[in-house]
Amino acid sequence: MAEYLAFHYLDPADLLPKGVPTPRQVSNFPATCARLLLVQAKARKVRPCRALDLGCAVGRSSFELARRVPEVLGIDISRSFIRTARKLQNRGKLGFKLLEEGCLTRNAVARVPAGIDKARVRFTTGDALRLPKGLGSFDLVLAANLIDRVPDPKRLLSKILPSLVRCGGLLLLTSPYTWSADFTPPANWLASHSTDSFSALRSHLRSSFRLIHRQNLPFLLREHRRKFQFTFADATFWKRL
Ligand SMILES: C[S@@+](CC[C@H](N)C(=O)[O-])C[C@H]1O[C@@H](n2cnc3c(N)ncnc32)[C@H](O)[C@@H]1O
């Protein structure tokens, strides 16, 4: 939980040891995902009335989407992430213990940035592969670092996401394609001996979406004060046909 609160609500520059420069182009990842999706929406004249943050964890992207979108739904399978996102929604801030080394911790505070109307967001527990009926469709859908965490990414891509994005709406997928049998049976990984994940992703989305933009999105995930994972997500932006 603390890793996610730090990842979502603290600035990567403040997490690195003093004097260590932030790697180029690394910023707060969940906020950047939301911002880039809103930039694409503006550039393509998509007026976002409803947005969905699928696999929202502790909710930062959902709040950031609410800067421009009147109705945002954050869904995550983890009850404790949703409980924490709701606490942040109600209180605006939440104290937590950031791991330093061993069992040494320091106090930190996660804060929803000022100027966001938190009432525009609703958080709910749910399984992306078995969503409740009647959710309707969304102008913007964000699925950040989710596809390599579900058991059946192909179904998510070819059946579920097309049903969630309205025609003309936008989808942002990000993923480092870190396939692991802990989450996805190897037979369901997008990458195989002959195909990379992006090619498979494109072929699953092709009949419903057009690729409009692609870029690397680097992020830093802090384990403790001297240990970070430095990862490059593949961010692909799609327009629903
Ligand atoms: C790697 S995290 C990414 C979280 C957030 N989107 C971000 O970019 O920081 C994956 C998230 O997906 C959630 N998740 C995993 N399987 C899910 C499923 N079947 N349905 C909904 N959420 C799921 C996890 O609980 C976790 O919060």
Ligand 1 atom closest to the Cα of residue 33 is 8
> What is d(CA 151, CA 158) in angstroms, rounded to the nearest whole number?
14
Q: What is the pLDDT of residue 18?
A: 85
Q: What is the pLDDT of residue 17?
A: 85
Rounded to the nearest angstrom, the gap between the alpha carbon of residue 3 and the centroid of all alpha carbons in its chain is: 15
Question: How remote is the CA of residue 173 from the centroid of ligand 1, in Å?
Answer: 12
The verdict on the CB of residue 191 being under 6 Å from ligand 1 is: no
Q: Class assignment of domain 2-240?
A: alpha beta
Q: What value does the mean pLDDT take over residues 133-149? A: 97
Write out the H or E segment, with its range, that includes residue 60.
helix 60-65
> What is d(CA 215, CA 218) in angstroms, rounded to the nearest whole number?
10
Q: In this predicted model, what pLDDT tens digit does every residue of 8-50 receive, in sequence order?
A: 999 988 888 888 888 878 899 999 999 999 999 999 999 999 9
Domain residues of the chain, as ranges? 2-240
> What is d(CA 105, CA 49) in angstroms, rounded to the nearest whole number?
41
**Alpha-carbon distances, residue 97 vs 1, 4, 107, 126, 227 (angstroms):** 10, 12, 5, 27, 16
Write out the H or E segment, with its range, that includes residue 171.
strand 165-175
Q: Model-level pTM?
A: 0.97
Give me the percent of the chain exceeding a pLDDT of 90.
93
Question: How remote is the CA of residue 75 from the centroid of ligand 1, in Å?
Answer: 9
Which residue's C-alpha comes closest to atom 25 of ligand 1? 78
3-class secondary structure, 116? coil
The verdict on the CB of residue 170 being under 6 Å from ligand 1 is: no
Q: What is the mean pLDDT of the chain?
A: 96
What token pair was written down for 44?
């393509």
